[in-house]
């Protein structure tokens, strides 16, 4: 549906987006995951023609975005990172205003507004002025605005930043509902858990570049599919250190007085590991197993953790 090739943008000396390429398939939620300054918003702004690329192509359904212009752009909806609403108007008036810009017919607009207020859970507050809304409500209305003209592709730029956990949860549910109704979504975030919860496929972006792209499973394979096994309890330190000699797939990560961490490839069951521990005289108080995650991929690719 969306095909990006060689997309590039510099600001002076800074390469904000550095020759990136990716495709978003119809019906999926595609994630663009990266820390502050990665180039996510610049990418979104180039797709919706707010920023002119230095080079590269953007195609929607096989049509070049810049040549085909408005006929293509009307299939695109954008929810900007910064909320853009009229605070003195209510939700219906805001939606009516944006809908009229797309020359929607009165009746069509009316029923679309009702539907979107329902989807975003704003029906009850629809006649209150936006300035009386919570941050989460404003973000949901911002999203409804992006959807007013029934775009095929919705660009969502960090829709959950700055809202409380409950509102964030609601927002993620709403995004899933929108996708289920058939809207394809390009979703940017710097929250790993959101990418894990929502996205069919994703790209990891840092310093303007795409470092990895694929399904979650494909991306997790980058870390070599190791589980981290953290054992707490009492044990003989020398024996604990020599355990990888007994179970050769095991690697020692760290060891302290009452805690030792090993890694084990996911294809080996943890049963044999537990048996080896017990036979070696471990008294286990607690055991935690961490599956490979997008977090560990990001650390491996960039040497940093993904934080604000």
Ligand X SMILES: Nc1ncnc2c1ncn2[C@@H]1O[C@H](COP(=O)(O)OP(=O)(O)OP(=O)(O)O)[C@@H](O)[C@H]1O
Residues near Mg ion, by CB under 5 A: 40-41, 81
Give which of ligand X, Mg ion, none residue 16 binds (C-beta under 5 to 8 Å, depending on kind). Answer: ligand X
Beta bridge partners of 155: 78, 186
Q: Are 75 and 130 in contact (CB under 8 A)?
A: no
Q: How far is the CB of 114 from ligand X (least distance, A)?
A: 33
Maximum CA extent, the chain: 78
Residue nearest to Mg ion (CB): 41
Q: Taking the complex as a whole, how short is the minimal distance between the CB of residue 42 and Mg ion, in angstroms?
A: 8
- Is residue 280 within 8 Å of 247, Cβ to Cβ? no
Nearer to ligand X, 16 or 72 (CB): 16
Nearest to 156 by CA among 169, 134, 133, 172: 172
> How far is 73 from 58, CA to CA, in rounded Å?
11
Q: Which is nearer to Mg ion, 52 or 106 (CB)?
A: 52
Which residue stretches of 69-215 are H helix?
70-73, 91-101, 106-119, 135-147, 165-180, 192-198
Q: Can you tell me the distance from the alpha carbon of 289 to that of 193, in angstroms, rounded to the nearest whole number?
A: 18
What is the closest distance, in whole angstroms, from the C-beta atom of residue 97 to ligand X in the complex?
Answer: 26
Partner whose footprint covers residue 190, from ligand X, Mg ion, none (CB < 5 to 8 Å by kind): ligand X
296 binds, among ligand X, Mg ion, none (CB under 5 to 8 A by kind): none
- Cβ at position 81, least distance to ligand X in Å: 6
CB of 44 to ligand X, least distance (A): 8
Closer by beta carbon to ligand X, 189 or else 263: 189
* Contact set with ligand X (CB under 6 A): 11, 14, 16, 34, 36-42, 81, 190
- What, of ligand X, Mg ion, none, does residue 42 touch, CB below 5 to 8 Å by kind? ligand X
CA dist 17 to 1, 9, 186, Å? Answer: 21, 5, 17
Task: Tell me whether residue 59 or residue 206 sits nearer to ligand X (CB atom).
Answer: 206
User: Which CB sits closer to ligand X, 82 or 257?
Assistant: 82
Full strand arrangement of the beta sheet holding 184-189: 76-79, 153-157, 184-189, 29-33, 201-206, 209-215
């Amino acid at each position: 549906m969306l095909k990006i090739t060689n997309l590039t943008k510099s600001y002076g000396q800074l390469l904000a987006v550095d020759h990136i390429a990716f495709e978003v398939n119809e019906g999926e939620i595609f994630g663009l995951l990266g820390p502050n300054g990665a180039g996510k918003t610049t990418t979104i702004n180039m797709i919706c023609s707010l920023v002119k690329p230095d080079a590269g192509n953007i195609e929607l359904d096989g049509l070049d975005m810049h040549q085909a212009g408005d006929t293509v752009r009307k299939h695109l909806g954008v929810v900007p990172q910064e909320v853009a609403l009229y605070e003195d108007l209510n939700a219906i008036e805001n939606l009516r205003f944006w809908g009229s810009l797309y020359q929607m017919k009165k009746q069509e607009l009316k029923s679309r507004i009702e539907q979107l207020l329902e989807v975003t859970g704003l029906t009850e507050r629809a006649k209150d002025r936006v300035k009386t809304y919570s941050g989460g409500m404003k973000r949901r209305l911002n999203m409804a605005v992006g959807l007013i003209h029934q775009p095929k592709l919705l660009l969502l730029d960090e829709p959950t930043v700055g809202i409380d956990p409950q509102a964030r949860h609601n927002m993620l549910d709403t995004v899933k509902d929108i996708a289920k109704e058939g809207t394809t979504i390009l979703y940017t975030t710097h929250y790993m858990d959101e990418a894990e919860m929502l996205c069919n496929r994703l790209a990891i972006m840092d310093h303007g570049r795409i470092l990895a792209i694929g399904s979650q499973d494909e991306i997790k394979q980058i870390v070599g599919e190791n589980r981290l096994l953290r054992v707490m309890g009492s044990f003989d330190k020398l024996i604990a250190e020599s355990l990888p000699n007994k179970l050769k797939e095991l690697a020692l990560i760290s060891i302290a007085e009452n805690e030792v961490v090993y890694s084990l490839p996911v294809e080996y069951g943890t049963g044999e590991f537990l048996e080896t521990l017990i036979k070696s005289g471990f008294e286990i108080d607690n055991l935690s197993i961490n599956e490979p995650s997008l977090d560990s991929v990001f650390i491996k690719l960039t040497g940093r953790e993904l934080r604000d």
